[in-house]
Amino acid sequence: GSTEIKVNYKRARPSLVVSSIHAEQTDAIVHVIASTICGSDLHLYHKEIPGMRKGDIMGHEAIGIVHEVGERVSAVEVGDRVVVSAVISCGSCEYCKKGLFSCCDNTNPSKEMEELYGNRIAGIFGYSHLTGGYDGCQAEYVRVPHANVNLLRLSAEEYKSLGKKSLLLSDVACTGWHANELGGVKNGDVVGIWGAGPVGLMTAALALYRNASRVYVIDCIQARLDFARKIGAEVINFKEKDVVGIVKKSVPGGFDVTIDAVGFRYTNKSWRHKLERAVFAETDSVEALDEAIRCTRKGGVVSIVGDYLNLANRFPIGAAMEKHLTLKGGQVHPQKYWSDLLPILSADEIFGRLFTHYMKLSEAPKAYKKFDRKEDGIIKVFLIVDG
Ligand code: NAD
Ligand code: ZN
């Protein structure tokens, strides 16, 4: 059954409003205060992921105020300050119950993904019809399915101590923690992180929080490497230096844990002609992952949070097999990590400094361009809804 959820359309521009059609009793409508752009959105921006349709609304990170709730929503009330989970989970399937929220069986009806992977994966806001076709958070209002599971309610005190950092709880902070959890990063570990985007930098800050003895961050963007150095990481510019050579000299035996926070880039775009059947090219590039594997200590762990979607050429299966490596990866489970991260983010101002730019939602095209080109020292943009 479904209940009607009303949205105040007056304050919102029609092109940005999420429609309330198909509203369920378990939905909430959130009035978005701020959203942001993720490295994952760049894959859509470059049309590297099929399944987007004209008029789809992007974005999977938001903070806001609950505007309407369905009858079966009990975890939040109208007027509550909330964080929206990037990943949409049902909370009641066998995977959700185990805390594997991004493996949820019930929120992504896409047959293509099931065919590609042999199993379903969870729905994601604003991330193409391959992940459920949910309209996203770069909007003035967003419909949140299974609101009891996919919203984090912030008390007045929590919001006061978190402020803008609360926006990091939709995805990036949780993904950084997820990367550390997958890698099992612990006291004394030497950790190598490929990618100094918001995800890589968050991962580095949290690895240091977990008392990793040394953290190396590899990228080629100076402003991002500077940030990494400021928080206590050592850095390598892969355009200037031979990463494998440096690691060999300065970390004998290799890293205990390596983390890929870069992800794929398609080199062959032939799939573009087959959008509806979601056929991907078999050419995801894996340069960063290849380097990471070669820099991992024997018996070490490779944690993959950079996104990969299909088959990859030149994947160094030999090194991975012969060195007894453990490879782990996956989309983040934001809901699982919220309680761990609330106190960590509240206590340290460094996390808030990831927001290098403040722009209005109406300037989103400009923000996308800047974030894509990594111009102007941009790390993460705080997109304020100006409806
Ligand atoms: P970003 O684009 O801002 O950052 C990526 C960084 O990688 C850039 O600074 C770039 O210069 C660097 N880079 C590119 N090639 C490299 C190489 N060969 N070696 C080292 N660094 C290299 O993106 P982001 O927001 O930080 O996201 C990073 C990745 O994480 C993306 O693939 C994104 O899709 C993925 N992601 C995954 C999850 C998840 O749940 N698993 C969540 C969020 C983002
Ligand atoms: Zn589920």
- Ligand 1 proximity of 292 Cβ (cutoff 6 Å): no
Ligand nearest to the CA of 122: 2
Mean pLDDT computed over 14-22 = 41
Interval 205-237: pLDDT, tens: 999 999 999 999 999 999 999 999 999 999 999
* In the chain, % of residues over pLDDT 90: 78
- Ligand 1 proximity of 185 Cβ (cutoff 6 Å): no
- Ligand 1 proximity of 42 Cβ (cutoff 6 Å): yes
Domains 9-171+333-384 and 175-329 in one fold: no
DSSP 319: H
Mean pLDDT computed over 164-192 = 98
Domain ranges of the chain: 9-171+333-384, 175-329
Out of 183-192, 258-267, 354-363, least confident range: 258-267
Which helix H or strand E contains 225, and what residues bound it?
Answer: helix 222-230
Q: Is a pLDDT exceeding 50 seen at residue 9?
A: no
- Ligand 1 proximity of 262 Cβ (cutoff 6 Å): yes
Interval 269-306: pLDDT, tens: 544 434 444 445 455 668 899 999 999 999 999 999 99
- Ligand 1 proximity of 38 Cβ (cutoff 6 Å): yes
- Ligand 1 proximity of 221 Cβ (cutoff 6 Å): yes
Question: Looking at residue 18, what is its pLDDT?
Answer: 44
* In the chain, % of residues over pLDDT 70: 89
Confidence of residue 19 (pLDDT cuts 50, 70, 90): very low
Q: 22 CA distance to ligand 1 centroid (A)? A: 34
Mean pLDDT computed over 171-192 = 98
Q: Give the largest Cα separation in the chain, rounded.
A: 64
Q: Is a pLDDT exceeding 90 seen at residue 193?
A: yes
Q: What is the pTM of this model?
A: 0.93
Out of 220-234, 252-266, 303-317, 359-373, least confident range: 303-317
Q: Which CATH class is domain 175-329?
A: alpha beta
Six token digits for residue 43: 């894959």
Q: In angstroms, rounded to a whole number, what is the distance separating the alpha carbons of residues 41 and 125?
A: 11
Question: Looking at residue 268, what is its pLDDT?
Answer: 53
DSSP 63: E
Q: In angstroms, rounded to a whole number, what is the distance separating the alpha carbons of residues 124 and 132?
A: 7
Mean pLDDT computed over 98-124 = 92
Q: 333 CA distance to ligand 2 centroid (A)? A: 11
Q: In angstroms, rounded to a whole number, what is the distance separating the alpha carbons of residues 111 and 118?
A: 10
- 307 Cα nearest atom in ligand 1: 32
- 87 Cα nearest atom in ligand 1: 40
Residue nearest to atom 4 of ligand 1 (CA): 197
Tell me, rounded to whole angstroms, the distance of Cα 228 from its chain centroid.
19
Q: Pick from 337, 347, 361, 381: which is nearest to 169 by CA?
A: 337
Mean pLDDT computed over 15-31 = 67
Residue nearest to atom 42 of ligand 1 (CA): 175
Interval 300-346: pLDDT, tens: 999 999 998 877 777 899 999 999 999 999 999 999 999 999 999 99
Higher pLDDT, 39 or 7: 39
> Span 9-171+333-384: which CATH code?
3.90.180.10
Confidence of residue 117 (pLDDT cuts 50, 70, 90): confident
Residue nearest to atom 35 of ligand 1 (CA): 306
Interval 201-211: pLDDT, tens: 999 999 999 99
- 243 Cα nearest atom in ligand 1: 19
Question: Looking at residue 13, what is its pLDDT?
Answer: 35
- Ligand 1 proximity of 123 Cβ (cutoff 6 Å): no
Mean pLDDT computed over 82-96 = 97
Q: Which of 125, 172, 219 to mutate to test the pocket of ligand 1 (most atoms within 8 A of CB)?
A: 219
* Structural contact between residues 234 and 216, judged by C-beta atoms closer than 8 angstroms: yes
Question: Looking at residue 97, what is its pLDDT?
Answer: 98
Confidence of residue 22 (pLDDT cuts 50, 70, 90): low
Q: 306 CA distance to ligand 1 centroid (A)? A: 6
Question: Looking at residue 349, what is its pLDDT?
Answer: 94
CB atoms within 10 A of CB 65: 14
Mean pLDDT computed over 167-171 = 98
Question: Looking at residue 155, what is its pLDDT?
Answer: 98
- Ligand 1 proximity of 131 Cβ (cutoff 6 Å): no
> Mean pLDDT of all residues in the chain?
89
